[in-house]
């Protein structure tokens, strides 16, 4: 079978403009159109984007900052006050700008003390403990090991609760809980010095 003719004396109609041009001056575009060289348009690069992988999301050997452990908050001297209302004893706790919420569980502790001498190293036994909070106004359960579910505000003798405004100039400094004991008179402050408020279970914070 013979090959194709050269077409040097032929004409061709452009698929783009519909005009007639010499056949030998026609070229094929990427979309299959046969057009004159003066009409030729290369393929738009945006029609054939290069594949781009997703950005890396994770680090090799990450070292995130561990969550802060809930710590003890040191209270002022004699921070507890008894309230006797309709036969139930409540304990107000004064803790400056404590930022706690109603429903939180808080354990109250007396001052820390050394219970026995030792090396204090990693292999040492528990050399420190917390003293009991002294009984006052017939209330002795403030340092209960299970802690107490607290309510925000200051309980009054008439049963009402006073709350701070909550702004920066007037933070909430009080929370209270219900005691299992019965106060003798109410309105008595006690607890001594160096008491603290914190979580039920303390965690070791590594250096």
pLDDT band at 121 (very low <50, low <70, confident <90, very high): low
* Stretch 160-175: mean pLDDT: 84
Spatial contact of 202 and 106, defined as CB atoms under 8 Å apart:
no
Q: Which of 34, 30, 38 is nearest to 16 (CA)?
A: 34
Mean pLDDT of the chain: 88
Position 176 pLDDT exceeds 80? yes
Confidence at residue 45, expressed as pLDDT on a 0 to 100 scale: 84
* Stretch 113-124: mean pLDDT: 62
Report pTM.
0.64
Position 169 pLDDT exceeds 80? no
pLDDT band at 19 (very low <50, low <70, confident <90, very high): very high
Spatial contact of 136 and 191, defined as CB atoms under 8 Å apart:
yes
- Sole residue written with tokens 């001297």: 77
CA geometry: angle at 105 spanning 103 and 144, to 5°?
135
Confidence at residue 174, expressed as pLDDT on a 0 to 100 scale: 95
What the block records as the tokens of 183 is 């106060």
What the block records as the tokens of 150 is 């607290």
pLDDT digits (tens, 9 = 90+) for 122-136: 555 556 788 999 999
What the block records as the tokens of 176 is 């209270």
- CA atoms of 161 and 11, how far apart (whole Å): 100
């Amino acid at each position: 079978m013979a090959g194709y003719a050269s077409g040097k004396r032929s004409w061709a109609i452009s698929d783009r403009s519909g005009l007639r041009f010499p056949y030998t001056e026609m070229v094929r575009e990427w979309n299959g159109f046969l057009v004159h060289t003066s009409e030729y348009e290369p393929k738009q690069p945006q029609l054939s984007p290069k594949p781009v992988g997703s950005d890396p999301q994770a680090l090799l050997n990450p070292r995130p900052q561990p969550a802060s452990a809930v710590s003890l908050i040191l209270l002022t001297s004699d921070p507890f006050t008894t309230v006797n209302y309709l036969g139930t004893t409540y304990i107000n706790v004064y803790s400056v700008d404590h930022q706690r919420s109603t429903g939180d569980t808080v354990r109250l502790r007396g001052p820390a003390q050394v219970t026995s001498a030792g090396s204090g190293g990693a292999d040492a036994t528990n050399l420190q403990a917390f003293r009991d909070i002294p009984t006052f106004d017939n209330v002795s359960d403030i340092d209960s090991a299970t802690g107490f579910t607290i309510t925000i505000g200051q309980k009054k003798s008439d049963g009402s609760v006073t709350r701070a405004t909550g702004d920066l100039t007037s933070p909430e400094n009080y929370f209270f809980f219900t005691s299992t004991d019965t106060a003798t008179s109410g309105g008595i402050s006690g607890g001594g010095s160096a008491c603290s408020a914190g979580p039920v279970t303390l965690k070791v914070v590594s250096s």
